[in-house]
Amino acid sequence: MTSPIIVWFRQDIRLADNPALFFAAQKGSVIPIFIDDRSDNSEWNPGAASRCWLHHSLHSLNHQLTGGLKLFQGEPLNILIKLIKETGAKTVVWNRCYTPHAIGRDTYIKERLLTEGIEVASFNGSLLWEPWEIHTQSGTPYKVFTPYYRKGCFNAKPPDAPLPRPKLQLYFGEDSCNQVNLDQLGLLPGHPWADRITEHWDISEDSAWALLHKFTDERLRTYNQDRDYPAEQATSNLSPYLRWGQISPRQIWHYSQQQCSIASLEQPLDTFLKELAWREFSYYQLYHNPSMTDDNLNHKFNHFPWQNQKESCQNWQQGQTGFPIIDAGMRELWQTGYMHNRVRMLVASFLVKNQRQHWHNGARWFWDTLVDADLASNSASWQWVAGCGTDAAPYFRIFNPIIQGRKFDPHGEYVRRYIPELSKLPERYIHSPWEAPENILAEAKIVLGINYPKPILDLGTTRNEALTAYSGLRSTVL
């Protein structure tokens, strides 16, 4: 009888297209485990929203595995060595993670296990292309997205076809002495906010597939026209499922192409796949620039005069800036653990340019409150908006929240959804309530500064101050 194989789940909480699990299932009985090692990496431990998502993800996975998922908490190497001794396992497999901490941890664990005579195998279950496989003709990493995608990725080997869900033979030995149950992991934040997230999301592998089907069947045809309008249900909403691996990028890539070849939707498909490729590019940047979670990729921003006023940042976090499209986005985030992508750009621009808060402040808040908080995408996106990343938006590109609101939420549906105190305001004033006459405000039962804040800043003044600060930076730093 062959010894069992330990399959270490991490950010791949699914059964289908799981290369490590598929490999193990072909060899014999499987011991599926998850290790909560948060104490090992305190700075980038999953935030509160991500922990909530993870809790329900593990519950769903355990159900799929008929209660066979083993949960542990602590230092992974010690846990693996104990489990190997208890079960007689001679092989450990996992799908790769690509954050700097995970790469260092996994390399160390692999080396130690190999010295103990344990076979170790790792697989790509999270990306379409390995970061080290894509490079320019001179062998250097790409720094700009379009050539990375159009030249680098398109000239590389196409993404492999997804693997089917394997038939599993689970190992049913005695429970490990240091095994814990899901509640003992302590992943749920412990306040009503966690309950609100589950009101908006069905957290499971099957739900991820249902969303993909719904998107390709009902939303993809108008994706190019509607995806920037936050009041519309026009995007896939797959990002949190990708973050924790209820669905893989290969599944999305191949299934959407298959469906669109039937329906002749080449243009919206190209736009959609480009968004998936942006996720890849974020991981690519993090792999080649492991300090980008904290350090400006454009080093001249090390000298930028950020203001970092605490009260101003709190107004932004709480959706109390007085600019409706900004406040609606921040309240959507707090209520659902999610924010529409167009609005993410608007609130980020407002924070780092109009408020001149360091992008770290925004990145840390998103890390704690987004269910799709992904270290690579979060870091790359904030550096992009701040103008200090690779292929970043120029710093002088400052979104005007009034103009953007009128353009992308023309009837104020999105604002009214998340700011009910403005719900009776006429469309003309929904994105600038301070411009409404007193009688209109009275009819809408709005008292600015009482039940909805006055604007905390002047857009024109802060825009000019930001541009002046940037001009000074350009003139003093080579």
Distance from C-alpha of 460 to C-alpha of 470, rounded to nearest angstrom: 15
CATH label of the domain that carries residue 100: 3.40.50.620
Residue at 74 is within a domain: yes
Residues 273 and 343 in one domain: no
Are 131 and 238 in a shared domain? yes
Structure tokens at 396: 């002088």
**CA–CA gap between residue 162 and residue 370 (Å, rounded):** 27
Whether residue 437 sits in one domain with residue 314: yes
d(CA 360, CA 205): 32
In a domain, 337, yes or no: yes
Distance (Å, rounded) from C-alpha 299 to C-alpha 375?
20
For residues 466 and 356, what is the distance between their CA atoms, to the nearest angstrom? 7
- Residue 275: the pLDDT is 95
Same domain, 360 and 413: yes
- Does residue 140 fall inside a structural domain? yes
Q: Is residue 185 part of a domain?
A: no
CATH value at residue 404: 1.10.579.10
Token pair, residue 75, equals 């230092």
* Cα atoms in the Cβ-side hemisphere of radius 13 Å centred on 153: 22
Half-sphere exposure of 291 (CA within 13 A, CB side): 5
Asked, for residue 192, whether it belongs to a domain, the answer is: no
Residue 173 forms part of a structural domain? no
- What CATH number is given to the structural domain containing 152? 1.25.40.80
What residue spans of 137-265 are helical by DSSP H?
145-147, 192-200, 205-214, 223-226, 239-244, 249-263
Please tell me whether residues 137 and 273 are part of one structural domain.
yes
Structure confidence at residue 478 (pLDDT) = 39
Last residue of a domain, one of 288, 321, 344: 288
34 with 121, same domain: the answer is: yes
Element holding 92 (H helix, E strand): strand 91-95
Nearby residues of 358 by Cβ (< 8 Å), 6 or more positions away: 306, 308, 352
Phi-psi region of 187 (alpha: psi -120 to 50; beta: other; left: phi over 0): alpha
Give, for all 478 residues of the chain, the pLDDT tens digit: 589 999 999 999 999 999 999 999 999 999 999 999 987 666 789 999 999 999 999 999 999 999 999 999 999 999 999 999 999 999 999 999 999 999 999 999 999 999 999 999 999 999 999 999 999 999 999 999 999 999 999 999 999 999 999 999 999 887 777 899 999 999 997 767 788 888 999 999 999 999 999 999 999 999 999 999 999 999 999 999 999 999 999 999 999 999 887 777 899 999 999 999 999 999 999 999 999 999 999 998 999 999 988 999 999 999 999 999 999 999 999 999 999 999 999 999 999 999 999 999 999 999 999 999 999 999 999 999 999 988 767 778 899 999 999 999 999 999 999 999 999 999 999 999 999 999 999 999 999 999 999 999 999 999 999 999 988 876 554 3
CA-wise closest residue to 286 among 180, 406, 278, 8: 278
The predicted pLDDT at position 40 comes to 62
Same domain, 52 and 119: yes
Same domain, 215 and 233: yes
Task: Give yes or no: residues 18 and 42 share one domain.
Answer: yes
- Which of 257, 288, 319 corresponds to the end of one domain? 288
Write down the pLDDT at residue 1: 58
Residue 267 sits in the same domain as residue 355: no
Q: What is the pLDDT of residue 475?
A: 54
The number of folded domains in the chain is 3
DSSP structural state of residue 352? I
Where among 242, 269, 288 does a domain terminate?
A: 288
> Are 334 and 281 contained in the same domain?
no
Identity (one letter) of the amino acid at 49?
A
Q: Do residues 135 and 254 share a domain?
A: yes
Query: What's this model's pTM, rounded to 2 decimal places?
Result: 0.95
**Is 196 within the bounds of a domain?**
no
Residue 106 domain-assigned? yes
**Structural domain for 255, as ranges:** 127-160+204-288
- Backbone φ, ψ for residue 92 (5° rounding): -125, 130
